[in-house]
Amino acid sequence: MVVVSPGRLGEMADGSVELGPKTVSGLLEYSRHWPGEVVFVAQRRPDRDLQALSFDWPQRSALPIETHLVDDVAATVKALSPRVTLAPAEPESRHLLGLSGATVVVADYPLRVRWENQTIETKSKWRQARVGLGLARRWAALRPLLQQAQGLQCNGPDTFNAYARYNPNPLKFYDSRITDDMLGLAEQQATHFEEPLTMGFSGRWIAPKGVLDAIAVCDVLQKSGKDVRLKVFGNGPLGDQVDARKSETIEVVGGLEFESQWVPAVMSGVDVFVLPHRQADSSSTFVEAIGCGVPVIGYANRYWKALRAEVGAGWTTEMSPGAIADRIASLTPEQLQEARRAGLEWMKGHTFEAEFARRTAHLREIASL
């Protein structure tokens, strides 16, 4: 099986590759279930100073599977002649169709999410019109790929609802890093949901993710006399505005390593996640919070509305911090416990191991293995 990177990667002079731990763990999990060799192929990024990035990139010799950084992905895939190629659902992947074996594409979120981002981040009608035209052209190129690929894997219910109709072999999956062991720890965690109630936000500090809305929720609750705290995890362009709000009530935690830092901090220190996403991106934070035993409250965007209906591990509101604050103020400890239990029960079938087993079984079926 060949797994094609969704983005270009760089390589430093010492042989280390610009490959994050999430990608490495996913490749390892594919190789556990695939009855043969797994090869990772990425288009080479133009030269850049990777030393400036504070990340311990893995050495190519230490990577768990064979890795190719190349200038021509299609030529490399053709030479490798795999039984199945797993590639991003982007128009550029059309060059991989028919080269060798089956081609299955992965869609993380619908193209319309990019339009939502633009309408949130810019009010320029000229800019919006230009972006809209570009996305229309991109969809005209993407749709044939969805139709012609032998399989399609969709991250989350909104992506599945948007794209599954175009492919004969679609699969819905849930992207998260919550393992069976992590879920077991979450089930053992004692919770009380007593005041002060600790809220959490995690993700990129950008407008579409709603980090400033989460802070506004805390402000509204405090003004109403509710005893709450907010922990803000992550980082991003709005960092100066987030840092300016540090206080005894608002703790700016920043970015944490997932397994050793983020998971323990969330399990032991957060009662409810506030994720006021104005876009319907298939963010893994929703599933990962649920997998830590933390209910979620967020805006009723298409993704969270559909996921919440399936899981029952939280609440949706209209898109205003006041609406989220009102809902949190009305919640009882019993309601929070019930949402926590529902999420943990659902998560038993959707851990990191369970999802990759299903995804690899889907690939094996398409490749007739």
Q: What is the dihedral of CA 305, 306, 310, 314, to 10 degrees?
A: -20
pLDDT of residue 335: 96
State the number of CA atoms in the 13 A half-sphere of 97 facing the CB. 16
CA neighbor of 294 nearest in space, from 342, 334, 258, 234: 342
pLDDT of residue 48: 58
| Secondary structure (DSSP) of 215-277 | HHHHHHHHHTT--EEEEEEEE-TTHHHHHTT-SSSEEEEE---IIIIIHHHHHHH-SEEEE--
Local mean pLDDT, 10-residue blocks, the chain (369 residues): 93 82 92 95 76 64 88 96 96 93 94 75 74 82 95 96 96 97 95 91 94 97 96 96 96 95 96 94 95 97 95 96 97 96 97 97 92
CATH architecture of 180-348: 3-Layer(aba) Sandwich (3.40)
Superfamily of domain 2-174+353-366: Glycogen Phosphorylase B; (3.40.50.2000)
Q: Take residue 154 and report the two structure tokens written for it.
A: 């969709």
What is the H or E stretch that residue 15 is in?
none
The domain segmentation of the chain, as residue ranges, is 2-174+353-366, 180-348
Q: How far apart are CA 315 and CA 339, in angstroms?
A: 9
**CATH topology identical between 2-174+353-366 and 180-348:** yes
pLDDT of residue 21: 86
pLDDT of residue 49: 53
Q: Which region, left, alpha or beta, applies to residue 71 given φ > 0 means left and ψ of -120 to 50 means alpha?
A: alpha
CA neighbor of 291 nearest in space, from 262, 325, 319: 262
